Amino acid sequence: MPPKRVKRVPAAKSSIDSGLLSLVQNLHKRLSALEPVVVNKDVKDQKDSKHAVPRLLKTKGNGRLATTKQSFSGAVSSIGSIGTALGTVITLTPGTAGEFASYAALFDDVRTTHVEVFVKIFQTTTNSVTGTLQGSLQAPGDAILVYDPVDNTSFSSIQAGLNYQQSTGVWSMLAGVVNLATTRNGFQHLKAKIPAPVVDPGILTDLLDSNWVSTKDTAVVVGYLKAYATAPGAAQYLVIQTYLRYHCEFRSRT
Q: At which of 63, 97, 121 does a domain end?
A: 63
Question: Cα–Cα distance between 130 and 124 in angstroms, integer?
Answer: 9
- pTM for this prediction: 0.67
Same domain? 31 vs 50: yes
In b/e form, how buried is each residue of 170-199, taking b as 16+ CB within 10 angstroms? ebebeeeebbbbeeeeebbebebebbebee
Same domain? 85 vs 208: yes
Q: What is the pLDDT of residue 7?
A: 54
Q: What is the pLDDT of residue 196?
A: 74
Same domain? 89 vs 181: yes
Q: What is the pLDDT of residue 38?
A: 41
Any domain includes 11: no
Same domain? 100 vs 162: yes
Same domain? 115 vs 236: yes
Residue-range definition of the domain harbouring residue 42 = 16-63
Same domain? 53 vs 72: no
Q: What is the pLDDT of residue 236?
A: 83
Q: What is the pLDDT of residue 30?
A: 61
Q: What is the pLDDT of residue 203?
A: 40
Same domain? 133 vs 151: yes
User: Mean pLDDT per segment of 10 residues, for the chain of length 254 residues?
Assistant: 56 57 65 48 41 43 66 89 92 90 91 92 78 61 93 95 94 56 69 72 45 87 94 84 93 79
Same domain? 58 vs 73: no
Same domain? 35 vs 76: no
Same domain? 155 vs 233: yes
Any domain includes 8: no
Q: What is the pLDDT of residue 18?
A: 65
Same domain? 116 vs 23: no
What's the number of domains the chain is made of? 2
CATH number at residue 167: 2.60.120.20
